[in-house]
Amino acid sequence: MAFFRIGLRRAVAQLPRAPLMRNACAPLKLSAPPPRVLQLAAAPRACRSYASIAPGVSKIPAQFFSSATTDAAKSAAQSGSSQASADPSSSPGTNAKVVGYWLVGSALSVFGIVVFGGLTRLTESGLSITEWRPVTGSLPPMSEEDWQSEFDKYRASPEFKMINSHMDLAEFKKIYFMEWTHRIWGRFVGLSFVLPTIYFLARRRVTPKMGLNLVGISALIGFQGFIGWWMVKSGLKDDLFAPGSHPRVSQYRLTAHLATAFVCYAWMLVSGLGILRTHRLLRDPEAAAKTFAALKSPTLRVLRGSVTALTALIFTTVLSGALVAGLDAGLIYNEFPMMGKGLTPPKTELFDKFYSRKADSSDLWWRNMLENPSLVQLDHRILATTTFTAVVALFFYSRTGRIKAAMPKDVRKGVTGLLHLALLQVTLGITTLIYMVPIPLAAAHQAGALALLTGALVAGHRLRVPKATQALVQRALQNRSGSRLQVGAISKNLPKRV
């Protein structure tokens, strides 16, 4: 039967084409009408199906128009993918949805490694591996001889000689596995990002702009691995053997390592949320257009700028917390809000000339701010209090009548969630300080910092309208209106018998 039908279609292809170009559903007007069977084979599928149901039916099924409109909307949302499949060398108009899920999953993996890295530092495991072997170091010691060799290398380090000289091989294995897991997790983050990036770029599943973002994140991950070893190396220097010195990594390098991880996380998260949001908006372009109109209201301009400034303030507070961790400044002044007999330590303690390295003391103030544990903790307290106050002020500002009426529902939820995260983080910070930095609370406090930054990023993301997304929604609306006009023209030209 299929062979017979193919033969009919080939016969139809040899008929004169001029009459066929007038109207696809109109009856053919030929000098010698072809047989009935050829007319049925030449008719379009949509016209055949409804014309052959029952002669004289005057009503067109509603499913015809609804399916046509739905197909037009889907084609508008997937126009980039269809163009890419038609021309492999062209770039898509939208990013594949799977890329968004993958980016959010990668951000969650970075979130986990940041928390685990904090545990590695709190358990003083970071200096247990004294060499950087990106390839051969992927496997732990496999024999007792290998374990003894690694232990001997650690015994030659300043940390063992001055702090952990009582440690035996069994205790060394515990801290070794902590650092080894941290490094393996870092390699996993890199491979699970770089390899899919190559695949998505080769398959044209991302736009050129998103492709640049993926390449930039990949480079940042590689740079983060280098910074990690650069940080560990600072805790293995020979000058740490000097009397009075404390073997630990440089607080500057620790801060750079944490800052790079936070930037990498934020970059992945915002990129992934942007892709998923674009696909969600394209499912209903009319509702998306209304959302865009609400977000463009001048009433929300101050709120948008305030969230951006708050995000920068949270990131700055995180950096000051990294300095506190690097200097173990949380182990002094374990009360709140007092610091000793007052709200601040004495001025002579805050600006101690011991930390100045120049004869004229021109570096007195900034070295104390970055190297004096007392002043570093005070700075972190001030920044944390300022951040919490700013979050509370933002919440109440968003509840004023004019702002509340203009603010979309998802933005209101984002600001409320940000307040809850700030309350949790302040509670964790004060508790960690009072109980002299226990490991579980300190790790939770670091996780809370990243969660608070996440809340600010999500709130800011919901307040913005990317130009690329606006263009895609506008194109989808135009395609939908055009498809409706096309359906109307088809309904006019259908035969009266239908």
Phi, psi (deg, nearest 5) at residue 342: -140, -175
Our CA angle for 216, 220, 223, nearest 5°, is 140
Which H or E run includes 130?
A: none
Q: Where are the domains of the chain?
A: 1-41, 44-77+470-498, 94-283, 286-465
Q: Sorting pLDDT into bands at 50, 70 and 90, what band is 473?
A: confident
Distance between CA atoms of residues 369 and 355, nearest Å: 10
Percent of the chain whose pLDDT exceeds 70:
78
- Under 8 Å CB-to-CB from 158, ≥6 apart: which residues? 235, 236, 237, 238, 240, 241, 245, 247
Summarised one tens digit per residue, pLDDT across range 29-80 is 444 455 444 444 444 444 333 333 344 434 444 443 344 444 444 444 444 4
430, HSE (Cβ side, Cα atoms, 13 Å): 11
Q: Sorting pLDDT into bands at 50, 70 and 90, what band is 495?
A: low
* Residue range 153-180: mean pLDDT, rounded: 92
pLDDT of residue 364: 92
Q: How far, CA to CA in Å, does 453 sit from each of 31, 139, 371, 391?
A: 77, 34, 25, 12
Q: How many CB atoms are closer than 10 A to CB 24?
A: 13
* Residue range 170-174: mean pLDDT, rounded: 94
Q: Sorting pLDDT into bands at 50, 70 and 90, what band is 302?
A: very high
Q: Is 289:477 a contact under the CB 8 Å cutoff? A: yes
Percent of the chain whose pLDDT exceeds 90:
60
* Residue range 307-319: mean pLDDT, rounded: 97
Distance between CA atoms of residues 224 and 212, nearest Å: 18
Distance between CA atoms of residues 216 and 213, nearest Å: 5
In angstroms, the first-to-last Cα distance of the chain is 27
Q: To the nearest 10°, the Cα dihedral for 420, 424, 426, 428? A: -170
Summarised one tens digit per residue, pLDDT across range 261-291 is 999 999 999 999 999 999 999 888 888 888 8
Phi, psi (deg, nearest 5) at residue 251: -65, -30
pLDDT of residue 472: 86
Indicate the SS3 state at residue 332: coil
Strand partners, 339: 342
pLDDT of residue 231: 93
Distance between CA atoms of residues 142 and 173, nearest Å: 12
- The closest of 226, 227, 221 to 195, measured between CA atoms, is 221
